[in-house]
């Protein structure tokens, strides 16, 4: 692979739309002008279809192929329904981290069995900021050492299963309230604080042998006041490779995010990232943008903007990772949603449930009328695939069929709010299931109105635990740290007394 076209093509990671690979992508793989493929929920129908898709991609590639996916667990998971779902990183931390490696192993085994050999996880951002719209329960928490322990265990679990891990978002996305999918944040954290806190989990995952690390589209003013980490020549060479000594693969977050596209064309952002020492350049969505990025990489290499040393060293790292995680075996669909996998994630989800206050209401008393008022998932960053309403209501109705359920629609229409208030006034106990209402004044207004109307209330924070601190008037409260399938099961089990929750938040709840 001596040509500049093939050298630079191996640095490009692309996504596509559809359940089968488009012809142009297969042609790019055969020509060696793409090094990796990212999959989303839009590419997944069921295990059989997904296995056939990945087989077609591997077969077309002229060199071992990296097929990546965001399968973090919790709210960010592209494989749901047919596949084993897992608790979030914050839930794993709330459970003391005891299941972190085992749960990562479950996800890794299923990904590998489906032909996927690269997971964009774990998230090692420190959850400093309750207003951050895109981190939340994806992070293990606010204590750098706890984040480090959970993340290192996750890396071990994924990679033992034959799936390369990717720690993100370097050098730390937790201390901002701006979503990089939309705009470009700037953080003024001093370098000493970065080294002492944000970089501590990276030291841990590097020591654990993490295969890859993803950079963030965030400006760190102490290192580069002009360019985000993804594009800055001061971040990967100086901080990641120099100070931390990482010799694995560095990759960008998607360069089609608003933080980048508002300031740079695709050809320029790709060239800047590569010249700054990032190995793999990610464009997740658009063929025309991917083509422009490829042309930009070739032109930058031919002009000398991307040096020969840069190209050779980057290719060395990429090839080493590909060889280490190459898939040659056929898919093994027997591994998907196995009984052992379900047992592991069930135990992990229960360990991660925290009962903040019970007030004699949890477990729910028998022979008391119950209402469930459930908030929608409207605060999602676009990093979250749309999954609609959760199955919390269905699970509760299966156990308590006389429950009155009000599922609030997006936008909180007035008729929905009135139904919720009526249900709260009529029920003996009202369960208020929230999803990061602390981020929205309107949602807070409605949540407080429901609590005021309720005779006795139980707050269930299904996403960020900060809702508990923001809504102190709830009589009882518990946190699930996410709404994945096993977490919803665990919530119902806790409410109905199947077990005693012992989880402990890895962040300060406030309030």
Q: Which CATH superfamily is domain 4-335 in?
A: Glycoside hydrolase, family 3, N-terminal domain (3.20.20.300)
Residue with tokens 């090839």: 319
- Torsion sign over Cα 191, 252, 126, 147: negative
Q: Give me 241's structure tokens.
A: 């490779």
What CA–CA distances, in Å, run from 358 to 192, 225, 269, 399? 42, 48, 52, 20
CA 105 – CA 467 distance, rounded (Å)? 31
| Burial class of residue 378, CB neighbours in 10 A (0-12, 13-18, 19+) | middle
What CA–CA distances, in Å, run from 246 to 120, 124, 238, 419? 17, 16, 11, 56
DSSP state of 88: -
Residue with tokens 């320029």: 268
pLDDT of the residue at 1: 47
Catalytic site includes residue 253: yes
What CA–CA distances, in Å, run from 344 to 99, 158, 349, 378, 493? 8, 15, 9, 30, 16
Global pTM reads 0.94
What CA–CA distances, in Å, run from 6 to 12, 235, 291, 459? 10, 26, 14, 55
CA 429 – CA 361 distance, rounded (Å)? 8
Pick the CATH number of 353-495 from 3.30.70.990, 3.40.50.1700, 3.30.1490.100, 1.20.1260.10: 3.40.50.1700
CB atoms within 10 A of CB 359: 12
Q: Give me 3's structure tokens.
A: 């040509």
Catalytic residue among 143, 181, 385, 455: 181
Beta carbons of 337 and 84 less than 8 angstroms apart: yes
Residue 500 CB partners (closer than 8 Å, separation 6+): 355
CA 374 – CA 487 distance, rounded (Å)? 15
Domain ranges of the chain: 4-335, 353-495
CA 350 – CA 494 distance, rounded (Å)? 8
What CA–CA distances, in Å, run from 468 to 130, 141, 362, 438, 459? 12, 16, 15, 9, 7
Catalytic site includes residue 366: no
pLDDT of the residue at 221: 87
Catalytic residue among 70, 198, 253, 380: 253
- Full pLDDT tens readout for the chain, 511 residues: 468 999 999 999 999 999 999 999 999 999 999 999 999 999 999 999 999 999 999 999 999 999 999 999 999 999 999 999 999 999 999 999 999 999 999 999 999 999 999 999 999 999 887 887 678 899 999 999 999 999 999 999 999 999 999 999 999 875 665 555 656 767 788 888 888 899 999 999 999 999 999 999 888 888 899 999 999 999 999 999 999 999 999 999 999 998 898 889 999 999 999 999 999 999 999 999 999 999 999 999 999 999 999 999 999 999 999 999 999 999 999 999 999 999 999 999 999 999 999 988 999 999 999 999 999 865 443 343 444 445 899 999 999 999 999 999 889 999 999 999 999 999 999 999 999 999 999 999 999 999 999 999 999 999 999 999 999 999 999 999 999 999 999 999 999 999 999 999 989 887 4
pLDDT of the residue at 396: 96
């Amino acid at each position: 692979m001596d040509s500049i076209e093939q050298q630079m093509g191996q640095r490009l990671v692309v996504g596509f739309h559809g359940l089968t690979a488009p012809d142009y992508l297969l042609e790019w793989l055969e020509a060696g002008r793409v090094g990796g493929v990212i999959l989303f929920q839009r590419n997944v129908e069921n295990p059989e279809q997904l296995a056939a898709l990945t087989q077609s991609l591997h077969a077309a590639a002229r060199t071992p192929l990296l097929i990546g996916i965001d399968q973090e667990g919790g709210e960010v998971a592209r494989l749901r329904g047919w596949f084993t779902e897992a608790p979030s990183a914050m839930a794993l931390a709330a459970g003391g981290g005891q299941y972190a490696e085992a749960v990562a192993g479950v996800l890794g085994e299923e990904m590998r069995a489906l032909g996927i050999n690269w997971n964009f996880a774990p998230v090692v951002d420190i959850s400093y900021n309750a207003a951050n719209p895109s981190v939340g329960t994806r992070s293990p928490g606010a204590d750098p050492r706890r984040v480090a322990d959970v993340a290192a265990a996750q890396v071990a679990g994924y990679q033992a299963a034959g799936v390369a891990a990717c720690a993100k978002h370097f050098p730390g996305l937790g201390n901002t309230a701006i979503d990089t999918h939309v705009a470009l944040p700037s953080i003024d954290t001093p370098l000493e604080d970065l080294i002492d806190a944000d970089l501590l989990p990276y030291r841990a995952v590097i020591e654990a042998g993490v295969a890859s690390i993803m950079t963030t589209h965030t400006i760190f003013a102490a290192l580069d006041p002009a360019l985000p980490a993804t594009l800055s020549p001061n971040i990967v060479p100086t901080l990641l490779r120099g100070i931390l000594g990482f010799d694995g693969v560095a990759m960008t977050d998607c360069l089609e995010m608003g933080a980048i596209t508002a300031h740079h064309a695709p050809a320029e952002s790709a060239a800047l990232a590569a010249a700054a020492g990032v190995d793999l350049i990610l464009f997740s969505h658009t063929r025309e943008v991917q083509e422009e990025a490829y042309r930009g990489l070739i032109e930058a290499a031919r002009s000398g903007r991307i040096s020969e040393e840069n190209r050779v060293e980057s290719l060395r790292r990429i090839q080493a990772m590909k060889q280490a995680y190459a898939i040659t075996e056929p898919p093994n669909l027997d591994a998907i949603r196995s009984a052992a996998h379900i047992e592991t994630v069930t135990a992990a989800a229960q360990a991660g449930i925290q009962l903040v206050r019970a007030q004699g209401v949890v477990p729910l008393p028998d022979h008391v009328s119950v209402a469930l008022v459930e908030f929608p998932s409207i605060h999602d960053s676009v990093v979250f695939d749309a999954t609609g309403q959760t199955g919390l209501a269905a699970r509760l109705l299966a156990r308590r069929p006389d429950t009155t359920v009000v599922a609030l629609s997006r936008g909180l229409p007035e008729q929905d709010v009135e139904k919720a208030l009526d249900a709260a006034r009529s029920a003996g106990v009202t369960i208020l299931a929230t999803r990061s209402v602390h981020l929205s004044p309107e949602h807070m207004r409605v949540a407080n109105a429901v609590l005021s109307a309720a005779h006795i209330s139980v707050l269930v924070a299904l996403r960020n635990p900060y809702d508990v601190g923001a809504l102190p008037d709830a009589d009882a409260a518990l946190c699930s740290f996410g709404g994945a399938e096993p977490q919803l099961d665990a919530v119902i089990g806790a409410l109905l007394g199947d077990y005693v929750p012992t989880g402990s938040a890895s962040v300060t709840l406030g309030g």
